[in-house]
A and B are shown apart, each in its own frame.
Chain A
Amino acid sequence: MTAQIIVVTSGKGGVGKTTTSASLATGLAMAGKKVAVIDFDVGLRNLDLIMGCERRVVYDFVNVVHGEATLKQALIKDKRHDNLFVLAASQTRDKDALTQEGVEKVLEGLSEDGFDYVVCDSPAGIEKGAHLAMYFADQAVVVVNPEVSSVRDSDRILGLLASKTRRAERGDGAITQHLLLTRYNPTRVAAQEMLSVKDVEEILGISVIGVIPESENVLAASNAGVPVILDDNSIAGQAYGDTVARILGEERPLRFTEVTKKGFFQRVFGS
């Protein structure tokens, strides 16, 4: 059984790729899978911060690609889950430090080590880093915000996923594409300041695998170095939980996409 490679990508920056990668990897690990999450954003490394392991990075992805360290040395075991590992990016190099052969070697190594899932956190843009992050993928989670520029960039990425990946080049069948809508604010959608789930699905022609509501808990969790999926009290965390379950094949209804009317007690006592 080879590892399923999932790329988390978007085209546009700042839409929540790294937040999603961290929560997706953690969610898959909580479901009992052996998971590695790789930061492809060489030069602007962030994933280690969100995962809360930034002070334990000794060797990184670039070291492994260049044969300066073994996979075992570079994989950082998550402090909360034994079956979750982080491969950090190098902050002092740039994207040209990655090579297609090197990335392939790392992914094969992880597959041989018995990993079930490898989550690739893509950098923004469509240049080398993003290309290498998606090239070997079996599945893609395309993160999109409910606004027009993000939707257009995602459309471009969906096109690249269908043509510029190993599966496409070999004709091995299409990559499974998941659309994840993040930073969704039902109140602003109702006020027509944001695109609705339906709008985005219509423009991109595929349906969403999850909708993550805008929530202040996300920022707090990021700053604390705890993937937001571990915060059971936040609706964003619960929505990520639903999303991971759907990626694993479970059917769950969408939540947090409607404006919630405050109940009597909430109005009296505050929320």
Chain B
Amino acid sequence: MNAKMETSDACDLRFGQVGIACVRVRRPDAAALCDELERRVRSAPQLFSRAAVVLDLSHLLDLPDDGTVDALLEAVRSAGMLPVGLAYGTSETEALATRMGLPLIAKFRAAYEPEHGSVAPPAAAEPVRPAPAASAPAQIAPPAPPALGAQHHEGAVRSGQQVYARDRDLIVTGAIANGAEVIADGNIHVYGSLRGRAMAGAQGDEKVRIYVSDFRAELVAIAGHYRVFEQIPKELEGHPVQCWLDGEKLMIARL
């Protein structure tokens, strides 16, 4: 609105999206974590060496004590990555993050724990923007994480076209032609014929699925595990199907 007038300000405070790797800790074993991450850094140094990462402890049954977290952070550092914060968790995680002197990444902040009945509802439709300096005290809490929802594509995706839904699900209401591609970091739903390619979990999420109401695909992939169809199995062709990952195996079955 008055963006031009603000050019004299010392800085702009903006919320933007930057890609950041998230280390999801499965067991609080610092040595194993270091080994695993070192292997990753060696395999793709240009991608992971000195990469900023956030530590996600939410998959651990109990939050580890401060000493263990210190060891985990040190493990990440010695593997060649730079831990810059914690991600995802309860208010305990937030307290832990404060003790560690690290930020809890705003996007994943524990603002909506189920037991906190009193917190504000997510402002889903609100675009992310810096909170004005003179905001009411009640809004000291960080801005709501953007509820990304799904990306909708109305109508057909024609041969040669590519549709990509970053960080979210993709819903296509038309047909996807031979030689067309739909890609999503989340799930993919196709309410038409899928004759082209569909790739879900493009950032490596193995839990996403692909749902198709009329299956005639050239290729489907989830988190990099793909199947090509030179010949579409008779029991699948033209039927509604879903695709998911079972370990390394890409499964496809009629709905």
Listed in ascending order, the chain B residues whose CB lies under 8 Å from chain A are 156-161, 174-175, 177-180, 192-193, 195
CA distance A203 to B238 in the complex (A): 12
Secondary structure call for the B interface: loop
Contact A152 B159 (CB under 8 A): yes
Contacts of B157 in A (CB 8 A): 159
Q: Which residues of A contact B175 (CB under 8 A)?
A: 203, 205
Q: A203-B177, A205-B174 are in contact. Are A156 and B160 (CB under 8 A)?
A: yes
List 5 A-B pairs, Cβ < 8 Å. A153-B159, A159-B157, A203-B195, A204-B177, A205-B175
Please give the distance in Å from B196's CB to the nearest CB on chain A. Answer: 10
Contact at B179–A205, with CB atoms within 8 Å?
A: no
Categorize the interface residue count of chain A: 10 to 19
> In this assembly, does A158 line the interface, its C-beta being within 8 Å of a C-beta of chain B?
yes
Who on chain A is nearest to B179 by CB? A152
Instruction: Scan A125-141; emit 1 where CB is below 8 A from any B CB, else 0.
Output: 00000000000000000
Chain A contact residues, majority secondary structure = helix
Q: Are B178 and A155 in contact (CB under 8 A)?
A: yes
Contact B195 A156 (CB under 8 A): no
Q: A202 to chain B: which residues have CB within 8 Å?
A: 193
Contact with B along A157-184 (1 / 0, CB 8 A): 0111011000000000000000000000
| Chain A: CB-nearest residue to B195 | A203
Inter-chain contacts of A153 with B (CB < 8 A): 159
In the bound complex, how far is the Cα of B179 from the Cα of A162, in angstroms?
A: 17
Residues of A within 8 A of B160 (CB): 155-156, 159-160
B156 contacts A156, C-beta separation under 8 Å: no
Residue of A nearest to B161 (CB): A159
Q: Are A152 and B174 in contact, with the CB atoms below 8 A?
A: no
- Determine which residue in B158, B175, B178, B195 has the highest number of CB atoms from chain A within 10 A of its CB, and name it: B158
A156, B160: Cα distance in complex, Å: 6
Flag if B158 contacts A158 (CB, 8 Å): yes
Q: How far is the CA of A51 from the CA of B179 in the complex (A)?
A: 36
Structural contact, B159 and A155, CB atoms closer than 8 A: yes
